[in-house]
């Protein structure tokens, strides 16, 4: 399975001829090295409605026919914007998509979207446990540290994708504590260095986690891919 960091919290997963996008914020993401018009997808997985996560979901889904998967109110709202293939779910539930499955788990955050017609607040945020290409990957989404990550650890994670930017999410110290709870083989940091308020040192985060846990940390540059 090939994982590509698009930048911010946007990732692309590829395996067995299928492509999955997670939180595809590309347009307006100054760190992205690709154009939204060049992205393809069989499924788009969303953690919550904030603009830096929904991103280019609607145009990509309309162009490709990708299934858009999110919590109930968010996926339903995306459907109301003219996207035909939406698969709403909710915490505890698992949804199958081409090549894999996604289970919704809790995330402590908020969820709203600023559109041309004002602000909407479709539902609540989630974390995503994705099984795809023989791997289990936890996308924490935007969240603080919370003790129920102990339950998420029982999903036997190969990879944990954790925000480290602080201010709107966990910062590096709490993300390192999360890594200790989650016990994934690999930790990939995200949601940092996109904007001035979330500047962080991924190298220092790597040192901290690798000193205190058994996980290895893989900081990826936007556009960088790794085979897992
Ligand atoms: Ni957010
Ligand atoms: Mn965010």
Instruction: Round to whole Å and give the CA distance between 152 and 174.
Output: 16
Span from the CA of 47 to the centroid of ligand 2 (angstroms): 9
Cα 198 to averaged position of ligand 1 atoms, centre (Å) = 12
Cβ atoms < 10 Å from Cβ of 55: 26
C-alpha triplet 190, 220, 177: angle, nearest 5° = 45
Distance in Å, CA 93 to ligand 1 centroid: 21
Q: What's residue 20's pLDDT? A: 98
Separation of 207 CA from ligand 2 center, angstroms? 24
pLDDT at 172: 98
| 17 CA → ligand 1 middle, Å | 30
> Ligand 1 center to residue 113 CA distance, Å?
10
**pLDDT tens across the length of the chain (228 residues):** 999 999 999 999 999 999 999 999 999 999 999 999 999 999 999 999 999 999 999 999 999 999 999 999 999 999 999 999 999 999 999 999 999 999 999 999 999 999 988 999 999 999 999 999 999 999 999 999 999 999 999 999 999 999 999 999 999 999 999 999 999 999 999 999 999 999 999 999 999 999 999 999 999 999 999 999
- Please tell me the distance between residue 107's alpha carbon and the centre of ligand 2 in angstroms: 12
Q: How far apart are the CA of 171 and the centre of ligand 1, in A?
A: 14
> Looking at the CA of 29, which ligand is closest?
2
Distance 175 CA to ligand 2 centre (A): 15
Ligand nearest to the CA of 25: 2
Q: Where are the beta strands (DSSP E) in the chain?
A: 2-7, 10-15, 18-22, 43-45, 67-71, 86-89, 94-97, 100-105, 113-115, 118-120, 127-132, 135-139, 159-163, 186-190, 216-217, 225-227
Which ligand is closest in space to the CA of residue 194? 2
**Residue 143: per-residue pLDDT:** 99
pLDDT at 100: 98
Please give the Cα distance from 214 to 59 (Å, whole number).
Answer: 40
**pLDDT at position 91:** 98
Rounded to whole angstroms, how far apart are CA atoms 135 and 153? Answer: 14
Q: How far does the centroid of ligand 1 lie from the alpha carbon of residue 16, in Å?
A: 31
Going from the Cα of 55 to the center of ligand 1, the distance in angstroms, rounded, reads 11
Q: How far is the CA of 193 from the centre of ligand 1 (A)?
A: 15
Q: What is the pLDDT of residue 167?
A: 98
Q: Which ligand is nearest to the CA of 74?
A: 1
User: How is domain 2-227 classified at the architecture level of CATH?
Assistant: 4-Layer Sandwich (3.60)
Residue 26 bridge partners (DSSP): none
User: What's the pLDDT score for residue 107?
Assistant: 98
Ligand number, closest to the Cα atom of 109: 1
């Amino acid at each position: 399975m090939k994982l590509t960091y698009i930048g911010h919290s946007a990732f692309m997963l590829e395996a067995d001829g299928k492509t999955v996008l997670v939180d595809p914020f590309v347009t307006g993401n100054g760190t992205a090295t690709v154009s939204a018009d060049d992205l393809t997808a069989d499924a788009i997985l969303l953690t919550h409605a904030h603009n830096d996560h929904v991103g280019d979901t609607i145009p990509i889904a309309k162009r490709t026919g990708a299934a858009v998967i999110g919590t109930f109110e968010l996926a339903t709202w995306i459907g109301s914007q003219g996207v035909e293939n939406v698969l709403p779910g909710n915490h505890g539930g698992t949804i199958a998509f081409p090549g894999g499955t996604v289970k919704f788990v809790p995330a402590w955050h908020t969820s709203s979207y600023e559109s041309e017609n004002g602000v909407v607040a479709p539902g609540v945020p989630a974390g995503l446990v994705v099984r795809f290409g023989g791997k289990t990957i936890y996308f924490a989404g935007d969240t603080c540290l919370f003790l129920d990550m102990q339950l998420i650890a029982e999903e036997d994670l190969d990879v944990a994708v954790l925000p480290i930017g602080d201010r709107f999410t966990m910062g590096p110290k709490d993300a390192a504590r999360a890594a200790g709870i989650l016990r994934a083989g690999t930790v990939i940091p995200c949601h940092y260095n996109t904007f001035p308020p979330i500047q962080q040192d991924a190298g220092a985060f790597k040192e901290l986690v690798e000193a205190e846990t058994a996980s290895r940390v893989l900081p990826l540059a936007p556009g960088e891919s790794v085979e897992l």
